[in-house]
Amino acid sequence: QVLQGRPHDLAGQHVVVSAGGTREFLDPVRFLGNRSSGRQGIALAEAALARGATVTLVAANVSVPVPAGVDVVRVVTTAELREAVLKAAESADAVVMAAAPADFRPTAFADAKIKKQADGVAPTIELTENPDILVELVRTRSGRSPVIVGFAAETGDANGSVLDHARAKMARKGCDLLVVNDVGSERTFGQPDNEVTILTAEGAEHPVPRAAKAEIAHAIWDAVVQRVE
Ligand code: CTP
Ligand code: CA
């Protein structure tokens, strides 16, 4: 149904969308990962296609099917995601970082499966921070100077509300738009619908009421289209 009644306002544009969650391996059978299903990113790719864009989807371990007509690059780790996104961004008019990269990776990779110790002592896993792809996209922006969109999964806490944290994140990242998700409940991960607020670099806040992820995707492209030259 997303194919009908949509403006062809992304015709001639190349958009890059990342989706899913990255995995960071400890040994050949174990990884650190997260709960991102890739649904919102895939809805974004599908919506952009319906609006006439050429779409590159960088898909990290997505658990839903990828739409036909989208150019898919499959990745597993944050390092692979980074490489694929930065390369695709060179010819992009918009880049949307809907993926959830693992923030940390095990510092060491064990070539053989890690075994339990006879003495019952649990191992300690040392972690190294992964590069921030969104920050790097903003810093190295060139070529067609794409519109850069970040996502923020936030819960409110003692230090501030969901939107307080999102505003601070937007300032840190320097992206043009930030799509904010309240993940303080079970209402986002793997769900067919979503409810977001789109923040702009100029300080505007656009609430998008709870709707199917396809509708949320179109609201995000509406905001992008306004910024594409
Ligand atoms: N992101 C990224 N590279 C990373 C981590 C995050 O490009 N290594 C992107 C995500 O794809 C998302 C945005 O940055 O578009 C915000 O991700 P989020 O996890 O909310 O932000 P972090 O900076 O990792 O902060 P924290 O997890 O501590 O809230
Ligand atoms: Ca993070």
Helix (H, G, I), strand (E, B) or coil at 195: strand
Whether 148 is in the pocket of ligand 1, judged by its Cβ within 6 Å, is: no
**Cβ count near 36 (within 10 Å):** 26
Residue where the block lists tokens 């050949």: 28
Give the relative orientation of helices 213-225 and 39-50 as an angle to the nearest 10 degrees.
60
221's tokens: 């492209």
pTM for this prediction:
0.95
User: Which phi and psi angles does 17 have, rounded to 5°?
Assistant: -125, 130
**Mind listing the pLDDT tens digit for each residue in 90-99?**
999 999 999 9
> What are the tens digits of pLDDT across the range 38-83?
999 999 999 999 999 999 999 999 999 999 999 999 999 999 999 9
Torsion of CA 21, 26, 29, 32, to 10 degrees: -30
Amino acid symbol at 212: A
Pocket test for ligand 1, best of 82, 97, 149, 167 (most atoms within 8 A of CB): 97
